[in-house]
Amino acid sequence: MGDDIIKLHIENDSSLGEVFEVTPAKIAAALDRSPDMAGTFDWTIGYDCAQFEDQIADADALICWNIETANLTQRAPRLRWIHATGAGVEHFAPFDWLPNGTTFTNNAGIHGERADEYAIMSVLMLNNRVPEMVTNQRAARWAQTFNSSINGKTLLVVGVGHVGGGVAAWAKKFGMTVLGVRRSGEPHPAIDEMHKPDAIQELVTRADFIFVATPATANTRHLLGVAEIAAMRPGAGIVSYSRAAVIDYESVRVRCEAGEISAILDVFDPEPLPADSPLWHTPNVIITPHCSSDDTDVYIPKTLDHVLANMRRFRAGEPLENRVDPVLEY
């Protein structure tokens, strides 16, 4: 792009709430943190696609959560970069609509400390049998639940990316053994044993706790399916952090109902979770309504800092960070 002024359009989805809203004040604050980017781009802000067609017609770059992607090449002929304000981008897949020469990036890594805190909180809750305590509380049943320290127990992290790696590092501080699963099988400094996905069924038999952080793609649907959930050892716990499609929730529900395992679930399909879902009343399950890692104070500021850093690269013709692979879908 050189010295050209970049036309950036930001499309807000008001249904997501203020945590995810990009405002003029937040843009101004981001420019205060990156003063060298002042004057390098013009921006427009829209809501709920009310004026979207007019606003993207001459846009070079777009920030959004979800848009209508059909015929985007004709609707936005100058568009060369799309940034999604979330880490999971399965709602854009398949990416056959992506215009040639357009780069798609996401918010991987933005959740950071907040995600790590939620994950460790969840594992500690499972170790202390809090889902069982909540079940007993609902029934006004006094039943003391004792357990041993988390030190020396085994955590299986399925999906060792930004979040999974951070969770593994925290688990090591608690003296845990950490097993990992990632598509590449490449080692990670906080993982004691790294495996590829074809080893999951054997790994779940060794885990006291399972933390699922892998993205939802065509290849990860029910990665933890009927057989894998059935293979979990009695008393084990599972945390569903990334996307519901990765886990067979019905198998989890059945085993929790039987008191064989426990679960903390943050993501669902559909969302909101319908009022008639049996998960609401399943024993040994704690539901958090997809609020595990979006920091109310810094999520959008961090997003904008990341976007401005990438805008420097965009202007210089350099590769952008957090590029989504259209084939892998993450």
Task: Verify that 140 and 266 share a domain, yes or no.
Answer: yes
Flag whether 14 is in a domain: yes
- Are residues 180 and 83 part of one domain? no
pLDDT at 1: 62
Quick one: which H or E segment has residue 195? strand 193-195
pTM greater than the 0.85 cutoff: yes
DSSP 201-254: HHHTTT-SEEEE-PPP-TTTTTSB-HHHHHTSPTT-EEEE-S-GGGB-HHHHHH
Q: Could you list the residue range(s) of the whole structural domain that residue 310 is in?
A: 6-110+295-316
In a domain, 327, yes or no: no
Residue 171 and residue 272 in one domain: yes
Does residue 1 belong to any structural domain of this protein?
no
Residue pair 114/293 in contact (Cβ under 8 Å)? The answer is yes
If asked whether residues 217 and 140 sit together in one domain, one would say yes
- Whether 269 and 235 map to the same domain: the answer is yes
Residue-level pLDDT at 176: 98
The three-state secondary structure class of 47 is strand
Number of domains in the chain: 2
322 part of a folded domain: no
In angstroms, the Cα distances linking 72 to 63, 79, 159 are: 14, 9, 32
280 and 233 in a single domain? The answer is yes
pLDDT given for residue 3 in this prediction: 72
Residue 80 in contact with residue 102, Cβ under 8 Å?
Answer: yes
Considering the domain architecture, whether residues 71 and 196 belong to the same structural domain is answered as no
3-state secondary structure of 161: coil
Token code pair at residue 121: 């909180």
Looking at the structure, do residues 18 and 131 belong to the same domain, yes or no?
A: no
Can you give the CATH number for the domain in which 216 is found?
3.40.50.720
Phi, psi dihedral angles at 111 (to 5 degrees): -70, -35
What is the model's pLDDT at position 112? 83
| Residue 328 is assigned to a structural domain of this protein | no
Are 128 and 263 in the same domain?
Answer: yes
The Cα 117–Cα 3 span in angstroms is 42
Q: Which residues contact 209 (CB under 8 A, 6 or more apart)?
A: 123, 126, 127, 153, 154, 155, 156, 236, 237, 238, 239
Residue 172, CA distances (Å) to 129, 153, 261 in order: 21, 10, 23
Split the chain (330 residues) into runs of 10 and give each run's mean pLDDT.
87 95 98 97 98 97 97 97 96 96 96 93 98 97 96 98 96 98 97 98 98 96 98 98 98 98 98 98 98 93 98 96 96
User: Does some domain include residue 185?
Assistant: yes
Residues 14 and 156 in one domain: no
Judgement on whether residues 99 and 135 belong to the same structural domain of the protein: no
Asked whether residue 326 is assigned to any structural domain, the reply reads: no
Residues 254 and 183 in one domain: yes
